[in-house]
Amino acid sequence: MNPIYLMTLCVCGLLLSSPLYAWSNDFRFINNFNTPMTLTITPTLAVVSSTCGMQNVNVLPHSPSCKFEFNIAKKNWHATPGNSGTITLAKKTDPASYCVYNYHYTYQTVPYSYFNIHSENISLQSCHGNLKPMEISVISDKTQALGRPLVGDIFLNLDKEKAAKSTESFSEADCGTDGGDNCMIASPDLNTLYVNDGSTLAESIALQNQLDRYEPLNFEQFLGSHNSAASRHYTTSSNHYNMSYSDPDNYLTLTDQLNMGVRQIELDLVWFDNTITICHNHVSAKLEEILCDSNSPLSATLTEIKTWIEKNPHAALIIYLDVNLPLAGKVTNLDADLAKLEPYIFTPELAAHYYGVTDQSLPAYQLSSHDLTEKLQKNIIVVNDNDINNLQNSKYVFTKVQHSKQTPLYETGVHDFLAMQSLSCNSSGKYDKVKSLYQDDADHYNILRMNGNRTALDYAVAIGNKNPDEFVNYYTTLNLPDMLNCPINVFSANMLGYTCDSTQCNSHPTDPRLYAFLWSWELGYPRNQSGGQIAYIDPQTKHFKNDPLIPNSIYAVLCYQKSSAQKTPTAPLQWYVRNVQITDPSTAFNTAQTACQTTGGLFAAPTTAYWMNDAMNVINANGSAPYNVLVNYQYINNEWTPNVKMEEETGKNILVGQSLIQ
């Protein structure tokens, strides 16, 4: 059978007829900054109504506005119904910092193309003061469709309604709210300084990636990407049936993903055109000619990754191979490609030698990122999803995890998490509740991964005749912070970096999800020359800061009782606080350490988001919130080091970091 005809049948089967759909022009503003903002909507045609009863509203940090609806009117009898005006976003504490956007909504009862089913145009008029275009993202159905020709061409021709529903679902997800299919998000730029002598968001995320480096891998948390190379960067095809081109999972190159903090890469593999090829095809080998044609070979992506590692020698990276169709008889070819990662790749043979494991098992509860990069002088771990029968013969791939029944990076979906209404990540009960998400590894010896999905095909497969807001399988600026508070290791996202400055999408502001992922340092921190050498938790912002300590002041100190029995993150640590007076800031570490030791504990810093959440619950419960809370996170040896201890080395006492577990 002709593969294009077969693919068309597959797509047609997904796009079943659905009931009449009622369009809406709902709008929200999401404030993803750490300070309040003001939203003002000024219509010049028609009116704007809102659930908060006003058109000028204050929006709290990390919060959505109320819902607005753009009602329609006509300038004259023959005009297209619509609504026009301006949207002004301003910093409440600095009203001279603001941006003005023009908006124009139109409604077509008889659409002529995808983009005028209902047209939503938002464009920048001007920005002033300290608010910049690169801090504002515009989300609409149109911006979602621009990166997905599959929707505007194939889907539209087969089912106009489902085509529009799919991108409405994406925009509602990015807006992170029910009933808001268009929105604007204000969020920090990756490379802007928000504090004098401070750090950029990119630098803060880089420090966060190193914060839990002494913990075993099954405790660590990091950002991943789902189907990382299912992207236009890794195909030269412009065939609309090639999903890397027409319905990509990712927008950025692997290098750009790694530069923004991703530490788990997923590569989808098939054997095609006499080589192992990057291709997302879980359907049929008969479709390879169109799904995989002109896609990059695996070897090209591995060369790119190796180049990045050579520039970042202290970074740890997990490469997750999703073998879409079995590689029977081709494992030798796979190993020849993976050999390109030498000398940076950690192998099952090395694991057997240093950790006593067998059967290509990854010792996730023994091995830390610090051990990998500093002691073993390796950077890369390669694991697999399926095709174990073949990949167990590879010299490079870990096909098992020590003490776990599941393959490495045991996964679930964001929709599974969100479907569990009782799953709160803000209490100690979260450890037991996560077990129900990952029932085949309730003891958490594995590295647990949670995937987001946001392709049009995913939508078509899953949605049926449900409304767009019922398909919830995405990370957003509003749901990600709560998820981080659960003991899940990898948060694997799609389309990182695909954010638009307007509905024309001429440039791409920083993805707001990146700031949502920053649970550790306060925006703009740590300070550099003007900052202190020890960090503290600001109980109001629940983040680290390092402003200089004030002499003769009261501070709280974070301590914990160490347990030698805990090998997996299935229970909270025993955090507690003590209050001390810091007379001389230069002796703050000794004062804090003594306060903890005299009560049988150790001076400590939470190194994961779920531990930070646990510690904050203790801080709030013990009435320590009025005081800044000193933590054992210090700038020593020209780097920020968590949980510092004194250790003898070659006859000298030196300060080094340590695990809270081992």
Same domain, 253 and 360: yes
Residue 13 pLDDT grade (very low, low, confident, very high; cuts 50, 70, 90): very low
Buried residues in 633-654 as b, exposed as e (16+ CB within 10 A): bbbeeeebbbbbeeeeeeeeee
Per residue in 247-305, pLDDT (tens digit) is: 899 999 999 999 999 999 999 999 999 999 999 865 656 667 778 899 999 999 999 99
Same domain, 390 and 500: yes
Residue 528 within any structural domain of the chain: no
Same domain, 512 and 649: no
CA distance 520 to 18: 45
Domain boundary (490, 516, 542) is at 516
Same domain, 456 and 548: no
Same domain, 507 and 586: no
pLDDT at 176: 75
Residue 560 pLDDT grade (very low, low, confident, very high; cuts 50, 70, 90): very high
Domain boundary (468, 484, 516) is at 516
Residue 195 within any structural domain of the chain: no
Is 215 or 153 the better-scoring residue by pLDDT?
215
Amino acid at 217: L
Same domain, 452 and 586: no
Same domain, 445 and 591: no
Same domain, 496 and 637: no
- Contacts for 383 with CB less than 8 Å, ≥ 6 apart: 318, 319, 320, 321, 362, 397, 398, 399, 407, 408, 409
Per residue in 70-107, pLDDT (tens digit) is: 888 777 666 777 889 999 999 999 999 999 999 998 87
Domain boundary (137, 166, 186) is at 186
CA distances for 234 relative to 252, 268, 456, 514, 554, angstroms: 10, 11, 19, 23, 56
Same domain, 501 and 547: no
Q: Which two tokens stand for residue 415?
A: 């929709």
Per residue in 167-212, pLDDT (tens digit) is: 888 888 888 766 667 899 999 999 999 999 999 999 999 999 999 9
Mean pLDDT score, 144-169: 74
CA–chain centroid gap for 303, Å, is: 24
Residue 662 within any structural domain of the chain: no
Per residue in 434-475, pLDDT (tens digit) is: 999 999 999 999 999 999 988 888 887 777 667 777 778 889
Residue 357 within any structural domain of the chain: yes
Per residue in 109-136, pLDDT (tens digit) is: 555 454 455 578 899 999 999 999 999 9
Residue 209 within any structural domain of the chain: no
Residue 649 within any structural domain of the chain: yes
500 contacts 458 by C-beta, under 8 angstroms: no
pLDDT at 347: 99
Per residue in 561-616, pLDDT (tens digit) is: 998 778 999 999 999 999 999 999 999 999 999 999 999 999 999 999 999 999 99
155-159, 326-330, 451-455 — which is least confidently predicted? 155-159
Same domain, 507 and 539: no
Same domain, 365 and 480: yes
Residue 247 within any structural domain of the chain: yes
Residue 194 within any structural domain of the chain: no
Residue 15 pLDDT grade (very low, low, confident, very high; cuts 50, 70, 90): very low
pLDDT at 51: 85
How many domains is the chain partitioned into structurally? 3
Residue ranges making up the domain that contains 60: 3-186
556 contacts 570 by C-beta, under 8 angstroms: no
CATH number at residue 493: 3.20.20
Same domain, 539 and 477: no
CA distance 566 to 568: 6
pLDDT at 532: 97
Per residue in 495-535, pLDDT (tens digit) is: 999 999 999 999 999 999 999 999 999 999 999 999 999 99
What is this structure's pTM?
0.93
Per residue in 609-652, pLDDT (tens digit) is: 999 999 999 999 977 668 999 999 999 999 999 999 988 777 78
β-pairing, 574-582 vs 543-545, is: unpaired
